[in-house]
Amino acid sequence: MLYNGVIIRMVVPLLEVRNLQRFFPIRRGLLRRVVGQVRAVDDISFQINKGETLSLVGESGCGKTTTARCILRALKPTAGEVLFQTAAGDVVDTAGLPKAALAPFRHQMQMIFQDPFSSLNPRMTVFDIIAEPLLASGVRSRGQRRQRVERLLELVRLRPEFMQRYPHAFSGGQRQRIGIARALALNPSLIVADEPVSALDVSVQAQILNLMLELQDELGLTYLFVAHDLSVVKHISDRVAVMYVGKIVEIAETDRLFKAPKHPYTEALLSAVPKPDPRLRSERIVLQGEVADPAHPPGGCYFHPRCAHAIERCRTETPALEEVQPGHQVACHRARELTLKGVGARR
Amino acid sequence: MINAPLLSVNNLKTWFFTDEGTVKAVDGASFEVGAGKTVGIVGESGCGKSVTALSILRIVQEPGRIVGGEIQLRRADEAGCVDLAKLDSEGKEIRAIRGGEIALVFQEPMTSFSPHYTIGNQIVETIQLHQDVGKEEARNRTIELLRMVGIPRPERRIDEYPFELSGGLRQRVMIAMALSCNPKILIADEPTTALDVTTQAQILDLLREIQERTGMSVIIITHDMGVIAEMADDVIVMYLGRVVESGPVDEIFHQPKHPYTQALLRSIPSIFAEPRAKLPTIAGSIPHPHNRPVGCPFHPRCVERIAGVCDVHAPQLRPVNELQMASCFLYHEPEEAPPS
Ligand SMILES: Nc1ncnc2c1ncn2[C@@H]1O[C@H](COP(=O)(O)OP(=O)(O)OP(=O)(O)O)[C@@H](O)[C@H]1O
Ligand SMILES: Nc1ncnc2c1ncn2[C@@H]1O[C@H](COP(=O)(O)OP(=O)(O)O)[C@@H](O)[C@H]1O
Ligand code: SF4
Ligand code: SF4
Ligand SMILES: [Mg+2]
Ligand SMILES: [Mg+2]
């Protein structure tokens, strides 16, 4: 494509989520009648380009995991489209397909879990754990599986001799490496990582984050990274989407979102992070009240009961996610007029 | 005596005698807590932070035992000290101190409440256990406490059950219960680890506000360097059951002395980082408690280790300047012959 005389490479998103919704019924009484809906994910849209990392952040219960599970079709979306570009180059809507039709490309999306302790079967050796998906996909020769497992262990910087050991012999960081090796076994293009470092020791978090960055460069992986720790997110992401009560309220490039947030909720989240520098102890914005209940969200902007900038309009009218600058979308009536505080580089 | 610390822990050793061997959960920890100060204890999981707290309150469970050291608590009235490590852990004296002079707030508020009683009943009971007041007065005090920790409509909330409250409100109730007997020392063990950052900010603010109002000392235990930087006056860094460094918060963050403190500060993901920048890391991982390294517990991971010294001798916590102490041979000579 030619634009002002410059050749622009058309970036095709690997994943595009359009108007995704997932509600959970609330049932009561003997007849288990549906008395309401938890709007866990409520009409969100975003895309992730090939080789990129997009992070989903937000407080507990805002819908991060539900979004991730819908993308992997571990949950059936209530509505919306999940457009995934397969290795063959076709674009499929995984939200709409019947489960059986998903089989041919399901392995191209893989998950890394939070808890490296419970996600590995304690009765299987490391070899069996990593080789399981290979076997399931039809690699019959044990020699071939062995070779592949060796290569995968190398990739995650573990010694091949570890193959015959059981998970309990490994530290949390090593188990997370094993989990990553298994996720990579079938050459996926998309990795969905749900809080992959939050159960790890601080000194080990850095090792796993570095490994994920290196693997991305080596293998051209695309990451959807789910986390609540904004410091971790700053390290790993190209772009960040902030969720609040089932909706995306802001999405932008990492640097831009941290330095110049445009949504009052993003500003408050950034401000609340304890900074590892005693000289920066200072005026924090402490949000009052609690996160809205996704079964009974307030009218208008869901954030208005806690927002210091709310005006009359915010109580009645729901703000739409709109682009305020190229690549920077915000759902706030006052996004263009407010000047909010971000987190810059240290000094 | 004016500057004498309120609490002084000397060479505390708390070990667990398990079937697989002895776990030296706390193995020679020393530190002091000044009156009205906030002391932060920081370290990665398993380094002995919680066992230190449990030892001070004398609620270490079997097969754990304090096997050495002292825990001196200064009493204003008797103008003397009591060594908590020497008290009978079931005795009258420690039971009066526990929840009275020293109170504890845990990480998971749900497990610290009984699900069968209202929060009001549980606080009223604590008040009546330590103070000679009637039910009516205890109930009024409880409502006041709930109001003080920022619980909306406390007259109604007092009759609710723990499961009816959110995590943040439960942690507030827990703090109200801890404050019910005007403690001199509040120990908060990972008080915000289970909470979101926004709720964490509310709880940390609350702790600071209450401390300003009451002048109590606070021991805050966390693995989060950010929480330490926000809250602590003095910092104690633990690694494998030992204090490896201690000092005022500014020195710890801006001139850390111990190689572990230095490496830890470099390796934590920071909100100030450049996106996608690689982090410096600490090699290896924390050893299993049954395989404690000989010599300096940090030596297998230390980039500055001195061969023949660090893997043989155990360093002791000693002053490195007027403000800081460190347990490291970069600053001191070995003091004793190596164990034979
Ligand atoms: N199976 C389910 N049935 C009913 N409600 C559910 C179910 N799964 C999730 N929810 C609700 O949907 C909302 C979003 O949950 P989700 O697990 O996606 O949050 P999250 O952002 O991943 O939170 P966390 O940070 O705690 O992991 C919450 O209100 C949750 O209680
Ligand atoms: N009841 C127990 N039995 C055996 N070992 C224990 C027990 N409680 C704690 N430990 C061990 O003591 C060490 C310190 O634990 P703890 O103080 O809980 O660490 P943290 O610093 O994470 O709070 C760990 O090695 C832990 O496994
Ligand atoms: S729309 Fe109104 S209430 Fe919502 S974030 Fe913007 S200013 Fe605040
Ligand atoms: S004593 Fe030696 S091994 Fe231990 S921290 Fe100091 S230099 Fe490193
Ligand atoms: Mg989740
Ligand atoms: Mg602990």
CA of A246 to the centre of ligand 5 (A): 12
Residue type, B195: L
Mean pLDDT in residue range B17-33: 93
Predicted local distance difference test score (pLDDT) of residue A8: 46
Residue A114: which of A40, A60, A152 has the closest Cα?
A: A60
Tell me the per-residue pLDDT of B207-250, one tens digit each, with 9 for 90 and over. Answer: 999 999 999 999 999 999 999 999 999 999 999 999 999 999 99
Predicted local distance difference test score (pLDDT) of residue B145: 92
Indicate whether A347 pLDDT > 60: no
Structure tokens at B338: 């190596």
- Chains A and B form CB pairs within 8 A to the count of 154
Whether residues A270 and B271 touch (CB distance < 8 A) is answered with: yes
Cα–Cα distance for residue pair A81/A18, rounded to 1 Å: 5
In a domain, B170, yes or no: yes
Read out DSSP for B228-287? HHHH-SEEEEEETTEEEEEEEHHHHHHS--SHHHHHHHHHS--TTSPTTPPPP--SS-PP
In a domain, B169, yes or no: yes
Tell me the per-residue pLDDT of B119-176, one tens digit each, with 9 for 90 and over. Answer: 999 999 989 988 899 999 999 999 999 998 888 889 999 999 988 888 888 888 999 9
Mean pLDDT in residue range A261-288: 89
In a domain, B295, yes or no: no
Predicted local distance difference test score (pLDDT) of residue A10: 53
Tell me the per-residue pLDDT of B288-318, one tens digit each, with 9 for 90 and over. Answer: 888 889 999 999 999 999 999 999 999 999 9
Cβ of A113 closer than 6 Å to ligand 3, yes or no, is no
Residue A9: band (very low, low, confident or very high) from pLDDT cuts 50, 70, 90? very low
Tell me the per-residue pLDDT of A152-206, one tens digit each, with 9 for 90 and over. Answer: 999 999 988 889 999 988 888 899 999 999 999 999 999 999 999 988 888 889 9
Smallest CA–CA distance from A275 into chain B, residue: B226
Q: Whose CA is nearest to atom 27 of ligand 2?
A: B46
Buried b or exposed e, range B131-170, using 16+ CB within 10 angstroms: eeeeeeebbebbbebbebbbbeebeebbeebbeebebbbb
Predicted local distance difference test score (pLDDT) of residue A2: 47
Q: Note the ipTM here.
A: 0.86
Tell me the per-residue pLDDT of A39-68, one tens digit each, with 9 for 90 and over. Answer: 999 999 999 999 999 999 999 889 999 999
Instruction: Name the domain count of chain B.
Output: 1
Cα–Cα distance for residue pair B273/B256, rounded to 1 Å: 20
Determine the angle formed by the axes of helices A172-184 and A202-219, rounding to 10 degrees.
Answer: 20
CA of B251 to the centre of ligand 4 (A): 19
Residue type, B108: E
Q: What is the DSSP letter of B160?
A: S
B223, B230, B267 member nearest A206 (Cβ): B267
In a domain, B173, yes or no: yes
In a domain, B103, yes or no: no
Indicate whether B1 pLDDT > 50: no
Shortest distance between the Cα of A57 and any Cα of chain B, in A, equals: 11
Best of A287, A290, A346 to disrupt the B interface (most B CBs within 10 Å) is A290
Q: What contacts A281, CB < 8 A, 6 or more positions away?
A: A275, B229, B230
Tell me the per-residue pLDDT of A60-105, one tens digit each, with 9 for 90 and over. Answer: 889 999 999 999 999 999 999 999 999 988 899 999 888 888 888 8
In a domain, B136, yes or no: yes
Best of A157, A170, A195, A277 to disrupt the B interface (most B CBs within 10 Å) is A277
Predicted local distance difference test score (pLDDT) of residue A4: 54
Average predicted confidence (pLDDT) for chain B:
91
Smallest CA–CA distance from A204 into chain B, residue: B285
Tell me the per-residue pLDDT of B49-82, one tens digit each, with 9 for 90 and over. Answer: 999 999 999 999 999 999 999 999 998 766 689 9
Tell me the per-residue pLDDT of A241-257, one tens digit each, with 9 for 90 and over. Answer: 999 999 999 999 999 99
In a domain, B159, yes or no: yes
Structure pTM?
0.89
Cβ of A247 closer than 6 Å to ligand 1, yes or no, is no
Cβ of B51 closer than 6 Å to ligand 2, yes or no, is yes
Indicate whether A7 pLDDT > 80: no
Cβ of B328 closer than 6 Å to ligand 4, yes or no, is yes
What is the span of the domain harbouring residue B146?
A: 112-182
Q: What is the DSSP letter of B98?
A: B
* 8 Å CB contact between A256 and A264: no
User: Which of A22, A26, A38 to probe ligand 1 with, by most ligand atoms within 8 A of CB?
Assistant: A38
In a domain, B267, yes or no: no
Residue A73: which of A62, A82, A85 has the closest Cα?
A: A82
Smallest CA–CA distance from A207 into chain B, residue: B281
Indicate whether B340 pLDDT > 50: no
Q: Whose CA is nearest to atom 7 of ligand 4?
A: B305
